[in-house]
Amino acid sequence: MTSVLSGGFRGRRAVALGVTAVALGAVLTAPGATAAAPATISVTPTCGPSSVTLQVTADGVPRGQDLYLLATRPNGDTTFVDSYGDPAGHLADETVLQLGRAPGAWISVHSYGSDAKHAQTWYSVGCAAFAAQPRLLVERPGRQPFAVDLRGFQDGTPVELSTSGVPPVSVTPNADGNFTGTVTFERQPPCGRSTITATQRTADPDPPAPDVEIEFAPTVTPAAAAPPAGETRTVALPITLFCPRLTVTPTALADSALPGPADVAGTGWVPLRPLTLTIDGKPLSTVTPDRVNGDFAGPVRLPRLGCGAHRLEAVQVAQLSKPPVAPLTLRKAAAITVSCTTTFLAVDPAVSTAGMVTTAAGAGFVAGRTVRLEWIGLDVRPLGDAGTATVGAGGTFMITCLVLPNSVLGTRRLRAVEVAAPGDPVAARTGMADLLVVPSSMERGRDQFLERG
């Protein structure tokens, strides 16, 4: 098909020219031809750098008749293409619109020589494109930047970028209708799935094309429905904000409960991607969140830990986009506090003579460890070994210790020190007990004899 306007006459007189040309010389379909009702019309666009080609199809139009397509912009400019309704009442043709700055056009099917409009649809210029990165986010405090690329929007008219629960940000496309840059929202969107949307309320600033003064017999131009004054162009992109959570129960453990299990649970992780649990930076186990919500839960065996605070951390590295996009790293930590009982050491008897024995009893020590006992002075000067003992399951031990012969009279201390195995994270514990060394009965008699002498 060729345009009756031969590519040159496009304006408010275009329809008049087309209709008059047919009235003066075109051969119309014989009277009596009927058209299926109601007619339907659809438009499929193909965007180019400065124009859009519309593939127009219609059904239920007059059968076997010469028809024409009319594209009417809001400013009154028209584009005219002659066409044809086949014997089945089907029309297939195309027309080209210059993109300009207008938001769209009415596309309609007409018969020559009459004011009949068989089908009509509004086509919104659909060549606007929107891209933003990142689309997969991990929760963090502060502002959220996006690298934004807008193409094919109306130049000079603001485009509002928005996402759920965050104040929008506006940018203005350049003279080509494009914008490339970084847009920063004051905070992240809500956790989970949402969208980032580019919205532009267009106007039609194109000046009307000049009228084409052609003198023909008066004709009737088909009435066109009033087009909208503007069009809202909206392009939305899905985004996902992962908000991982990690909990451990109980959060406080007695040292006597370790090694032992703790219940560890997570929510909001990347589904079906393994994550690693560590305790104080040392690998503990690997778990895989479920398919639905990225959750996991179950017991995890904790090793023996020292007294005080410890850090249980979950780290997940998930490559969800093709390189060079970096993988997502999700990280969350929970605190565990290990409480330790106070060590206790006592001797019985606590008053003894040199060369005798006393029984040492300890509690609050680490089960299974060896304890070394030694005598020391009040100035911590070592005086001699007192033996070794093994701590029982309840953290206790008992041992008989010799009070060294020739010990100086007065107070000395028995010190018990655990022996920790290499790599054992639990520090060695220490206990102290005082013992008073007194003279024996023989020494007291000798002293009395010397005093009388």
Instruction: Say if residue 252 is in the same domain as residue 264.
Output: yes
pLDDT tens across the length of the chain (453 residues): 323 332 333 333 233 323 322 222 233 333 444 444 588 998 888 777 667 888 999 999 999 999 999 998 877 788 889 999 999 999 999 998 876 656 678 899 999 988 788 999 888 766 788 999 999 999 999 999 999 999 888 888 899 999 999 999 999 999 888 999 999 999 999 999 999 999 988 765 555 554 444 333 333 344 444 444 456 778 899 999 999 999 999 999 988 888 999 999 999 999 999 999 999 999 999 999 999 999 999 999 999 898 899 999 999 999 998 888 889 999 999 999 999 888 999 999 999 999 999 999 999 998 899 999 999 999 999 999 999 999 998 899 999 999 999 889 999 999 999 998 888 878 889 999 999 999 987 555 555 544 555
Instruction: Say if residue 353 is in the same domain as residue 326.
Output: no
Instruction: Say if residue 248 is in the same domain as residue 236.
Output: no
CA distance 187 to 165: 9
Instruction: Note whether residue 6 is domain-resident.
Output: no
Instruction: Note whether residue 351 is domain-resident.
Output: yes
pTM for the structure as a whole: 0.64
Instruction: Say if residue 109 is in the same domain as residue 146.
Output: no
Task: Kindly give, in sequence order, each residue whose CB lies less than 8 Å from that of residue 319, ignoring residues fewer than 6 positions away.
Answer: 327, 328
Instruction: Note whether residue 137 is domain-resident.
Output: yes
What are the percentages of helix, strand and coil residues in the chain, rounded to 5? Answer: 5, 50, 45
Cis peptide before 134 (omega within 30 of 0): yes
Q: Which two tokens stand for residue 5?
A: 């306007």
CATH code for position 193:
2.60.40
Tell me which H or E stretch contains 451.
helix 441-452
Q: What is the pLDDT of residue 32?
A: 47
Q: Cα angle at 96 between 92 and 98, to 5 degrees?
A: 160
Instruction: Note whether residue 360 is domain-resident.
Output: yes
CA distance 119 to 67: 11
Question: Among 195, 200, 221, 12, which residue's Cα sits nearest to residue 124?
Answer: 200
CATH code for position 98:
2.60.40.10
Of the residues 286, 319, 339, the one at which a domain ends: 339
Q: What is the pLDDT of residue 99?
A: 62
Instruction: Note whether residue 46 is domain-resident.
Output: yes
Judged on CB neighbours under 10 Å (0-12, 13-18, 19+), 90 is middle
Instruction: Say if residue 260 is in the same domain as residue 234.
Output: no
Give the three-state DSSP class for 443. Answer: helix
Q: What is the pLDDT of residue 297?
A: 97
Of the residues 321, 339, 357, the one at which a domain ends: 339
Of the residues 93, 124, 155, the one at which a domain ends: 124
Judged on CB neighbours under 10 Å (0-12, 13-18, 19+), 36 is middle
Q: How many other C-beta atoms can be found within 10 angstroms of the C-beta atom of residue 147?
A: 12
Q: What is the pLDDT of residue 12?
A: 30
CA distance 108 to 61: 11
Q: Which two tokens stand for residue 412?
A: 């000395």
CA distance 275 to 297: 13
CA distance 21 to 36: 27
How far does the chain reach from its first CA to its final CA, in angstroms?
148
Q: What is the pLDDT of residue 220?
A: 37
Instruction: Say if residue 287 is in the same domain as residue 374.
Output: no
Instruction: Note whether residue 4 is domain-resident.
Output: no
CA distance 162 to 169: 7
Q: What is the pLDDT of residue 451?
A: 55
CA distance 62 to 87: 8
Instruction: Note whether residue 1 is domain-resident.
Output: no
Residue 314 near residue 266 (C-beta atoms within 8 A): yes
Instruction: Note whether residue 452 is domain-resident.
Output: no
Q: What is the pLDDT of residue 27?
A: 32
Task: Count the domains in the chain.
Answer: 4
Please compute Rg for the chain using Cα positions: 45
Instruction: Say if residue 51 is in the same domain as residue 100.
Output: yes
CA distance 151 to 178: 5
Pairing of strands 351-353, 430-438: parallel
Instruction: Say if residue 142 is in the same domain as residue 169.
Output: yes
Domain of residue 320 covers: 244-339
Instruction: Say if residue 285 is in the same domain as residue 302.
Output: yes
Instruction: Say if residue 279 is in the same domain as residue 327.
Output: yes
Residue 247 near residue 267 (C-beta atoms within 8 A): no
Q: What is the pLDDT of residue 122?
A: 84
Instruction: Say if residue 229 is in the same domain as residue 267.
Output: no
CATH code for position 356:
2.60.40.1930
Instruction: Say if residue 150 is in the same domain as residue 229.
Output: yes
